[in-house]
């Protein structure tokens, strides 16, 4: 009997070659219908399988035993489901209420696009892995709800009727990374009920209605290094972020906002690149004690960075260039924002910042339309940069060179030496003391 390792290598080699467009050599090159076309050879590398439905740990153990799936369901030796093709109208992989360890890898989930259900259905599952599969022609590539410690990586998900990945409930300690999702008209990735201690990293998304949409609450999670292009909605939309990071994402050609965050506490939006959004580059509201920094926003049709409301947040070291609206807009309910060290270039308004908020500190920014004069050559334009808005704010230290922060000498003061008391006041003072002594003596004598 050939070893399990040998079987796995053969299956994964066939899968890898197929993914690269290189067709594996099969034992037979003809079928009853004639020659096998190159397109069919890849699919014939899989073994057709009926839908797999598992409703408990014992059910998974029984099916693994019946089908000789490798593994024992432990973390060190998970069950392996691999090398199959599925095309059933019902969910090809449906698992409920399990916490055994399993891996679904190297499979093709397909259909004829008529009355088909989602490619997977996971509900109340812990400890699963879905990796290196193809999901296509389903209602949604995956439908997943209320899962923990589930990893979804390196799958190709395309040409589905709804979402690429639709999470009907919350996810916790999950990893969604390295997937390629396209041609899904409802959107690529959607989590409506909460994302906790999870990562969504390195996914490639294009030609979908929306990119990454995380609603409910996003806590202690990372959304990073995703590439999103040509989405007919917002690139990344997040609600109620707390202690989370949105970083190093690239969003191009979104028909709505590049990144939209509604509610942010102690979170970071950093090092993102947003190009050619039809609305705002970064749009936020309820931005509290958070930081927006080192983002590059170019050629957006509305505002570069918009803060509708929030307080005590920092907006620094961002570059906003070529936007139709303001580079930065602070609305009436934006309070105590620190806006420093940003670079604002050729945004198509008479003034590049709008501030209608309260006690916002705008200083040490670079404005391409306000770089001189600097008669004392200290790196700061001699006149403040006036800001639009009812508060009549201004940047007192506009920079002459982007990103170069000069040192400002703060004048030091020393205590002044008291002026000497005039001699006549000294004499008068002595006389007054003598008079007091004489009067006191008279009073004592009378007593």
What pLDDT was estimated at residue 425? 35
Q: At residue 26, does pLDDT exceed 90?
A: no
pLDDT cut 90: percent of the chain above it? 77
The pLDDT score that the predictor gives to residue 341 is: 98
Residue with tokens 């499979």: 107
- Whether 242 contacts 268, CB under 8 Å: no
Average pLDDT, the chain: 86
Its pTM stands at 0.82
What is the arithmetic mean of pLDDT over 342-355?
95
Provide the β-strand partners of residue 265.
Answer: 242, 288
- Assess whether pLDDT exceeds 90 at residue 338: yes
Q: What does the pLDDT average to over 79-95? A: 95
| Residues 48-77, mean pLDDT to the nearest whole number | 97
Q: 102: buried, middle or exposed (CB in 10 Å: 19+, 13-18, 0-12)?
A: buried
Of 157, 189, 193, which is closest to residue 176 (Cα–Cα)?
189
- Among 1-5, 285-289, 351-355, 386-390, the least confident range: 1-5
* Domains along the sequence of the chain with CATH: 4-43 (no CATH), 48-395 (2.160.20.10)
If pLDDT is split at 50, 70 and 90, which confidence band does 113 have? confident
User: Which tokens sit at 59?
Assistant: 């059910």
Say if residue 442's pLDDT is above 90.
no
Cα distances (Å, whole numbers) of residue 94 to 91, 119, 145: 6, 9, 12
Sign for the pseudo-dihedral over CA of 378, 381, 383, 386: negative
Is the model more confident about 310 or about 420?
310
Digit-coded pLDDT (tens) for 156-202: 999 999 999 999 999 999 999 999 999 999 999 999 999 999 999 99
In angstroms, rounded to a whole number, what is the distance separating the alpha carbons of residues 180 and 43?
Answer: 19
Q: What is the structure's pLDDT at 114?
A: 72
Specify the length of the chain in residues. Answer: 447
Query: pLDDT at position 44, please?
Result: 61
Average the pLDDT over each of 22-26, 61-65, 394-398 and give the range with the smallest value: 22-26
């Amino acid at each position: 009997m050939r070893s399990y390792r040998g079987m796995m290598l053969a299956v994964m080699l066939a899968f890898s070659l197929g993914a690269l467009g290189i067709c594996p050599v099969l034992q037979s090159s003809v079928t009853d219908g004639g020659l096998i076309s190159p397109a069919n050879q890849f699919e014939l590398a899989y073994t057709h399988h009926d839908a797999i439905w598992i409703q408990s740990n014992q059910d998974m153990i029984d099916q693994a035993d019946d089908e000789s799936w490798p593994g024992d369901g432990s973390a060190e030796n998970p069950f392996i489901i691999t090398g199959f093709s599925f095309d059933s109208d019902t969910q090809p992989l449906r698992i409920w209420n399990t916490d055994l360890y399993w891996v679904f890898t190297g499979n093709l989930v397909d259909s004829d696009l008529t009355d088909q259900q989602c490619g997977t259905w996971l509900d109340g599952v812990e400890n699963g892995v879905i990796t290196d599969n193809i999901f296509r022609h389903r209602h949604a590539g995956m439908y997943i709800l209320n899962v923990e410690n589930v990893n979804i990586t390196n799958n190709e998900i395309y040409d589905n009727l709804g979402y690429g990945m639709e999470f009907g409930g919350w996810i916790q300690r999950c990893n969604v990374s390295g997937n390629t999702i396209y041609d899904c008209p409802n959107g690529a990735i959607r989590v409506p009920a909460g994302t906790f201690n999870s990562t969504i990293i390195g996914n490639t998304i294009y030609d979908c209605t929306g990119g990454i949409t995380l609603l409910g609450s996003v806590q202690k999670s990372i959304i990073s290094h995703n590439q999103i292009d040509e989405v007919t909605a917002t690139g990344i939309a997040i609600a109620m972020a707390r202690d989370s990071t949105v970083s190093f994402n690239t969003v191009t050609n979104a028909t709505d906002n590049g990144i939209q965050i509604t509610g942010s506490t102690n979170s970071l939006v950093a090092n993102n690149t947003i190009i050619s959004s039809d609305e705002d580059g970064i749009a936020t509201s309820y931005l509290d004690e958070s930081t927006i920094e080192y983002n590059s926003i170019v050629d957006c049709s509305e505002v570069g960075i918009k803060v509708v409301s929030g307080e005590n947040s920092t907006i620094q070291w961002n570059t906003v260039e070529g936007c139709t609206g303001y580079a930065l807009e602070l609305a009436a309910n934006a309070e105590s924002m620190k806006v420093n060290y940003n670079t604002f270039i050729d945004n198509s308004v008479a003034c590049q910042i709008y501030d209608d908020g309260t006690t916002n500190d705008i200083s040490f920014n670079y404005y391409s339309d306000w770089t001189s004069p600097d008669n004392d050559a200290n790196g700061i334009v001699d006149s403040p940069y006036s800001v639009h808005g009812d508060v009549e704010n201004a940047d007192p230290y506009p920079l002459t060179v982007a990103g170069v922060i000069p040192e400002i000498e703060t004048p030091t003061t020393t205590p002044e030496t008291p002026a000497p008391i005039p001699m006549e006041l000294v004499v008068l003072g002595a006389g007054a003391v003598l008079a007091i002594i004489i009067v006191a003596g008279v009073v004592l004598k009378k007593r």
